[in-house]
Amino acid sequence: MATAVQRLRGTFLPLSFNSGLNVIGILVVLVALFASTQRVIEGGGTYFFQTLGFGLAQGAIFALVALGYTMVYGIIELINFAHGDVFTLGAFFSLAIITSPLGALIGLTPSSSGAGVILPLLGLFVVTMLFCALVNIAIERVAYRPLRHAPRLAPLITAIGMSALLEGIMNVWKGPYNLAYPDFLPENQIPLGGGATIAAKSVFVIVIAVVLMVVLTLFINRSKLGKAMRATAQDRDAAQLMGIDINRTISATFFIGAALAGAGGIIYGLYYNSVQAFDGFQYGLYAFTAAVFGGIGNIPGAAIGGFVIGIVFAMSDGYFTTKWTIPLIFAILIFVLVFRPTGLLGMRVPEK
Amino acid sequence: MAPILRVEGVSKRFGGLVAVDNVSFEVNEGEVFALIGPNGAGKTTLFNCVTGFYTPTLGTVTFQGRDITGFPPHRTAKAGIARTFQNIRLFDYMTAVDNVRLGHHVRMRSRLWDSLFKTPFERREEREITEHSMELLDLVGLKRHADSYARNLAYGQQRRLEIARALATDPKLLLLDEPAAGFTPQEKVELMQLVQVILARGITVFLIEHDMRVVMQASKRIVVLDHGEKIAEGTPAEVRANQRVIEAYLGKSA
Amino acid sequence: MSRVRDFWNSNRRNPNAIAYAIFIIGAIFYPSIVQFLNGGNGDYLVGFAADGGIYILMAIGLNVVVGFAGLLDLGYAAFFAIGSYTYATVASYHLGVTPIGHALHLPFWIALLIGMFVAAAAGALLGAPTLRLRGDYLAIVTLGFGEIVPIVFRNGEVWTGGVPGISGLDVPSLPGWFVGPWIGQDFGWVPDFRFNTGNLTAYYVLMCFLIAITVVLVHNLYNSRLGRAWMAVREDETAAAASGVNTVTVKLLAFSIGAATSGFAGAFYGAKLSYVSSENFGFVVSVTVLAMVVLGGMGNIPGAMLGAAVLYFILFRLLPDAPAQLQSLASALGLDFLNKADPNGWPGIGEVVSRLKYVIFGLILVGIMLLRPQGLLPSQVRKQELKHAEHEALTAPRQLQG
C-alpha cells in the first residue's frame, strides 16, 4: 500500500507541476490575446489587415529560412549557425548581380520596374539559389563533414565560426552599412473589401514562398532523393545499410536548405529594400525560433512556425512596442525549448 | 534469504512495441542470479528499467525494501546498484585509475567548497579513494595498467576495468550485461573466479549472459525471457529441463 | 635541494608547468619592460594589459563550461553584463535616481562578490531547465538569452539607466596599498587605497592577483571530484550516470561557475571604467571569448589564458594599428592605388583591414577545430581524444541497446 501511494505520488507530482506551468502558460496567452484584441479593435480593420499582411510576408521569409535549419537538424542533428548568413549572402549576391553590368545584360538595373522584370527576376532567383546552395555544400564539406565523428561540440563551434566567417567576408566586401536594394515590386494596395487592403508586395512574397514550399514538400514526399533524406533523418545507420549514399543525401539537404535561404535573401531584399552584412545572424535566429516553435526536424512545422513568428512579430510591432519585440521572440524561443522542446508539431523525442 | 531486488509486473513499451511484458522475479541477497533469453528478448531493457535509464511503463522495482521505480540512474547508483554495459562504456580518454576514481563519486562527501579550496578533508578523501582504486584495479588484475588510457587497454581488460569502476560505487547489487561476451575460454574461467570474489565481498550478482556454460556454472537461479515475457524461472537444472525454454532458446541454439 | 631537482625533473617536460612559469615571469617583468622600452611612458601599455586581464578571466571561466564540461555557452557576455549592472546598482549613486530613491554604496569587494553571485544565480536559473535537454539546446538558449539581456538593460529605463547606461560607479578600493620608487615615490603604505586611472600599475597588479586566484581555484576544481565528473560527463553521459554522477547537477555547476567568473569579470570591469552601458555586451563579446578558448586549447587553463592573451593582442593592438601601418607600407612600396578608396568598389586597404575582425574569428574557430583541435596549448586529455577521433569513424556508434 505504502509503495502504491509512493508510486502514485511519483507520477502525479511532476504532472501537477507541469500542468501548473501549463495553466500559467495558458493564462499568459489569454491575457496577451485579450490585450491584443482590445488594441486590434481600437486600431480598426484596415490597420489590422495591413499588419497581418506584413506579418504573413515576414513570416513567409522566416519560413523559407527555417526550413533549412530544420532539414539540416533533422538529418545530422546540427544547428547550422551559418544558415542565417547564407540567407544574407543570397541578398548580397543578387544585389551584386543587379548592380553589375551582368544585371544590365539580363535586363535588371536598380531602376528597372514594371512587368518587364518578371523574367529576369526569375533568372536572378535561379542563379542566386544555385550560388547559395553551392556555398552551403562547400561549408558542409569543409567545416562539418570532417567532424562528423568528432565530439558533438566540434561541429557546433565550426558552425559558429562559419557564420562569423561569412559575416566577415560580406563585411569586408561591402562594409557594415545598410545597402539599398532595388525596389522592383509594385507599391499598390490590393483591396480585400470593406476598406481592408493588403500590399501587393506582401502577396508577392507570400506566393513565392508558398510555391517554393509546395515544391519542396512534393520533392521530399515523391522523389527518390527525398525518400533517402527522410530515411537518413530517421536512422542513418539503417539507411546506409539499405544502400543510401549518406554523403550525397546530406549534401542534397544542405543544397535545398540553402537554395530556399537564397530565395529568402532576394525576397528579403525586395521586400525591405535594404540589407546589411550582419542582418543574417539575428534574422537566422528568428527563423530558428520558428523552426523550434514548429518542432525542430519537422518540415511542415517549420513552415507554420515561420508564419506564426512572423505574425507575432508584426502584431507586437504594430500594436505594442517595437522595443520589446526582439526580447519577446527570444523569450518564445527559450520557453518553447524549455517547456515543449518537441515544438508544437514536433514528434522527435529529445534524448537526454 | 531475503530478496534484495524485487521486480513486480514490470512492463516497458516503446510506442506500440512491448519490449518487456509484465515480468516479475526476485533476486536473493548473496546469490548469482542470471537473466537469459534469445536476442531481442528484452534483457537489456529490463536492466535499464532496474538501473533507472528507463522508467517502466507499468510495475515496480523494489531494492532492499525501498521502491526505486523511476529513480534516475545516479540515484539507483547511490541506493547501491551498479552496472556494466553490454557494449563497454568506459571513459576512453581517462586513465584506468581515473575511471575507477570516478566510480567513487557517489560515495564521496567533498563539497564544492572543499574542492575549490583543497581542504584537508578533500585531500584525505582523494588519497583514500586513490588507494581504494588501486586495490580494485589489483582485484581485477589491472594494477600495472593504472596509468594507461582506458581506450588503450585490451578488450578483456576493458571489461574488467568496467567491473572495477562499478565496484567503486560500493554496490550491494552488481548488474553485469554479458560480461563474458567475446572472451576466450581462459578469460571466462577468470571471470567466474572474479564473480566469486565479488560475491565473497557481500555483493549480489545479477547477470545477463549468452554463454550457457557460464550461466549454468556460475548462477544459482535463472530467469528466462522471450519476446519480453518471462517463460521460466528456477535453478539451472530446472531451466535446462523446461520444455518452453528448450523450444524458445536452447532448442534453437543447440 | 634534491626536492627542488625532483620538482624540476618532474615538471620540465610538462608544457603546462612551463606555461605557468612563463606567465608568472612575464607578468612580473612586463611593466618594467614596457616602461623601459617606452622611456618611462609605457603606462598606457600597462593599462592595456590590465584590460586584457578581463578577457583572460572570462576565458578561464568559459573554459570550465566549454572545455571541461563540453557545453557550448553562446551567451557568455550576458553574465558579464549582469555582473556589471549588479555592481552598478549596489555601488553607485544610481539607486538614488530610481524610484527607490536611496543610493547604495556597498564596499567594493562585497559589491564585486554580489555581482558574481547574481550572475551565477542567473546562470543556474537559465541552465536548470535547459540542461535536462540535449546539449546543443543549451547553445541556442544561451544565444537567445545573450540577445535578450542587453536589450532588457537598454529598455530598462530608469532602473538601468536606459541607453546611456549608468556612470559614476564606485572605483575599486583596497584597505591599503604599497607604493615605492616604481611610481616615483618613497617606499610606503597608503591606507584606504582607491584605484584610479592615474595609477595603472596598481590596476595591473590587482588584475594579476585576481587571475592568479582564479587559476588556483579553477585548477583545484579540475583536479577534484567535480573535475573528474565533468570529464566523465563530457565523454559519456550514460556511463557517468550509471557510475552515480548526477549529470544535470554537474553540468549546472560548470555552467554556473562559468557564469560566476564572467559576472565577476563584468563587475570588476564596470568598477574599473566606473561606467556601464548595454552597448558593450553583445554577441561579439561571447564569440571573442569562445575564439580565445578554442585558439588556446579547450580544457586547458593555461591554454585558455594564452589564447586570450594572443587574440586580445591581435584584436586590440595589431588590428587597430594595422590600417595606418599598411597604408604607409603601401605608399612606401609605390602601391598608392591600394590606399585610394573607390566609391563603388575597393574601400582602400586600411578600411579593408579594419573590417577583418569577423574573418579572424571565423578562421580561428573553423581552422583550429579542423587543423589543430587541441589548440595552441593542448590539455593532455584533449590531445589523446582528438588524435583518435578519426578511428571513431570506423566503429559503430555506441548506444544503449533496447
Tell me which chain B residues have a C-beta less than 8 angstroms from the C-beta of C220. Answer: 115-118
Provide the shortest C-alpha distance from residue B90 to chain A (in Å).
15
Q: How far is CA C185 from CA A39, A296, C180, C217, in A?
A: 69, 65, 5, 35
Between A108 and C83, whose confidence is greater?
C83
> How big is chain C, counted in residues?
402
Q: In the predicted model, is pLDDT for residue B165 greater than 90? A: yes
Q: For residue C65, give every residue at least 6 positions away whose Cβ sits within 8 Å of its Cβ, in sequence order, or none.
A: C71, C73, C76, C254, C255, C257, C258
pLDDT range class, residue A191, cuts 50, 70, 90: confident
pLDDT at residue A34 in the model: 82
Taking an 8 Å cut-off on Cβ atoms, the answer to whether A10 and B62 are in contact is no
CA-closest candidate to residue A290, choices A316, A348, A329: A329
**Mean pLDDT, to the nearest integer, of A328-335?**
90
C232, C253, C385 member nearest B102 (Cβ):
C232
**Mean pLDDT, to the nearest integer, of A287-303?**
89
Q: In the predicted model, is pLDDT for residue A48 greater than 70? A: yes
The total domain count for chain A is 1
pLDDT range class, residue A2, cuts 50, 70, 90: very low
Mutate to test the interface with B, among A3, A149, A237, A351 (most CBs of B within 10 A): A3
**Mean pLDDT, to the nearest integer, of A74-87?**
92
Please give the Cα distance from C54 to C76 (Å, whole number).
13
Percent of chain B at pLDDT exceeding 70: 97
Please give the Cα distance from A67 to A294 (Å, whole number).
10
Residue A222 DSSP symbol: H
Query: Of A162-166, B15-19, C185-189, C233-237, which range is least confident?
Result: C185-189
Query: Is the minimum CB–CB distance between A147 and chain C shorter than 8 Å?
Result: yes
B110 by Cβ neighbours in 10 Å (0-12 / 13-18 / 19+) ranks as buried
The domain of A155 spans 46-339
Q: For residue B1, give every residue at least 6 positions away whose Cβ sits within 8 Å of its Cβ, in sequence order, or none.
A: B28, B29, B30, B31
pLDDT at residue C372 in the model: 87
pLDDT at residue C259 in the model: 97
What tens digit of pLDDT does each residue of C212-258 get? Answer: 999 999 999 999 999 999 999 999 999 999 999 999 999 999 999 99
Mutate to test the interface with C, among B84, B91, B112 (most CBs of C within 10 A): B91
What tens digit of pLDDT does each residue of B37-78 get? Answer: 888 888 999 999 999 999 999 999 999 999 999 999 999 999
Q: What's the sign of the alpha-carbon dihedral B34, B39, B41, B42?
A: positive
Residue A224 lies in a domain: yes
Low-confidence ranges of chain C (pLDDT < 70): 1-4, 7-13, 181-184, 342-345, 380-402
CATH number assigned to the domain comprising residue A237: 1.10.3470
pLDDT at residue C401 in the model: 37
Query: Of A146-155, A340-349, B173-182, which range is least confident?
Result: A340-349
Query: Is the minimum CB–CB distance between B67 and chain A shorter than 8 Å?
Result: yes
Q: At what angle do helices C283-296 and A153-174 cross, to 10 degrees?
A: 120
pLDDT range class, residue B214, cuts 50, 70, 90: confident
Question: In degrees, to the nearest 5, what angle opens at C-alpha C209 toward C-alphas C206 and C215?
Answer: 145
Taking an 8 Å cut-off on Cβ atoms, the answer to whether C243 and B90 are in contact is no
Residue A2 lies in a domain: no
Query: Is the minimum CB–CB distance between A70 and chain C shorter than 8 Å?
Result: no
pLDDT range class, residue A210, cuts 50, 70, 90: very high
pLDDT range class, residue A299, cuts 50, 70, 90: confident
The ipTM (two decimal places) reads 0.92
**Of A18-22, B244-248, C54-58, highest mean pLDDT:** C54-58
Domain B3-21+29-80+171-253 has CATH 3.40.50.300: yes
pLDDT at residue C402 in the model: 34
Please give the Cα distance from A13 to A11 (Å, whole number).
6
Taking an 8 Å cut-off on Cβ atoms, the answer to whether A160 and C287 are in contact is yes
pLDDT range class, residue A16, cuts 50, 70, 90: very low
Determine the distance from the C-alpha atom of residue C261 to the mean position of all C-alpha atoms in its chain, rounded to a whole number.
8
pLDDT at residue B250 in the model: 54
pLDDT at residue A22 in the model: 67
In this structure, are residues B171 and B206 in contact, taking their beta carbons and an 8 Å threshold?
A: no
Provide the shortest C-alpha distance from residue A164 to chain C (in Å).
5
- Domain residues of chain B, as ranges? 3-21+29-80+171-253, 91-154
CA-closest candidate to residue A84, choices A103, A64, A101, A99: A64
Q: In the predicted model, is pLDDT for residue B171 greater than 90? A: yes
In this structure, are residues B225 and B41 in contact, taking their beta carbons and an 8 Å threshold?
A: yes
pLDDT at residue A190 in the model: 83
Torsion over CA of C357, C358, C359 and C364, rounded to 10 degrees? 90
Percent of chain A at pLDDT exceeding 70: 91
Query: Of A14-23, A272-281, B80-89, B174-183, which range is least confident?
Result: A14-23
C35 by Cβ neighbours in 10 Å (0-12 / 13-18 / 19+) ranks as middle
